């Protein structure tokens, strides 16, 4: 059984889970988006897609990022948030983690240096929260901007995979190439084993959520 993500729990506690780039300067900016030709690692957008946390490694990264974005949290408050994130019924994860393992994970994260930002994926296009664009429009803009550069990065493919998943579409090589305005061969060349696994997981979640696997 699939559960919808309950972000109200985080919002009511004023937990920050999104952050736009702070020091990186966009190459081009409009009222709707910022474009970074060389990419930026400073954009954090947790829980922006429908894809759920599917591994312990991903859960630990999400907790580390929440700890980094919310420096005023004490350890007890952080543990409360971690418990919320890890409860499958709240829609953040696709699995259940034992409380002892979660406590160990929280302790390890809380001991890390907050001066160093968590490792993050490269983003070239960052949409503003009030942009008013549909997922389709965002995909089109990303494809146009990245297509111009003639260089497709692994993280561009990953973001496109998340966007297709949010639209209820099965992720295929052809769909990725179409939206990133490149060849199928380019997608294959930049498709790491990790991306291949993520593609299968997202398509599996799509099926479990009752969406038809539409190829448009």
In whole angstroms, give the CA distance from residue 21 to residue 44.
Answer: 8
Among 211, 180, 208, which residue's Cα sits nearest to residue 52? 208
Q: What local confidence, expressed as pLDDT, does residue 2 receive?
A: 53
DSSP string, 32-96: SEEEEEEEES--EETT-SSPPB-SHHHHHHHHHHHHHH-TT--HHHHHHHHHHHH-GGGTSBSS-
pLDDT means per 10 residues in the chain (216 residues)? Answer: 78 94 94 92 90 90 95 93 93 92 94 84 89 88 80 86 85 91 90 90 79 42
Q: What local confidence, expressed as pLDDT, does residue 216 receive?
A: 33
Among 2, 8, 171, which residue's Cα sits nearest to residue 94? 2
Helix axes 99-110, 56-69, angle to 10 degrees: 40
Taking the model in full, what pTM does it have?
A: 0.75
């Amino acid at each position: 059984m699939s559960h919808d993500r309950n972000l109200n729990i985080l919002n009511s506690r004023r937990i920050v889970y999104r952050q736009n780039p702070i020091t990186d300067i966009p190459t081009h900016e409009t009222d709707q988006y910022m474009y970074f030709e060389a990419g930026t690692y400073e954009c954090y957008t947790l829980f922006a897609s429908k894809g759920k946390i599917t591994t312990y490694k991903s859960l630990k990264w999400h907790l580390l990022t929440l700890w980094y974005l919310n420096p005023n949290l004490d350890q007890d408050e952080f543990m409360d948030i971690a418990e919320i994130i890890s409860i499958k019924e709240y829609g953040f994860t696709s699995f259940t983690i034992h409380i002892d393992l979660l406590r160990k994970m929280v302790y390890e994260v809380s001991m890390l240096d907050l001066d160093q930002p968590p490792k993050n994926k490269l983003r070239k296009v960052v949409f503003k929260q009030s942009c008013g664009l549909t997922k389709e429009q965002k995909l089109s803009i990303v494809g146009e901007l990245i297509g111009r550069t003639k260089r497709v990065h692994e993280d561009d493919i990953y973001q496109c995979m998340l966007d297709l998943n949010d639209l209820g579409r099965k992720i295929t090589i052809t769909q990725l190439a179409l939206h990133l305005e490149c060849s199928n061969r380019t997608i294959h060349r930049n498709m790491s084993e990790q991306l291949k696994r993520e593609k299968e997981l997202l398509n599996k979640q799509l099926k479990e959520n009752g969406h038809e696997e539409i190829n448009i």
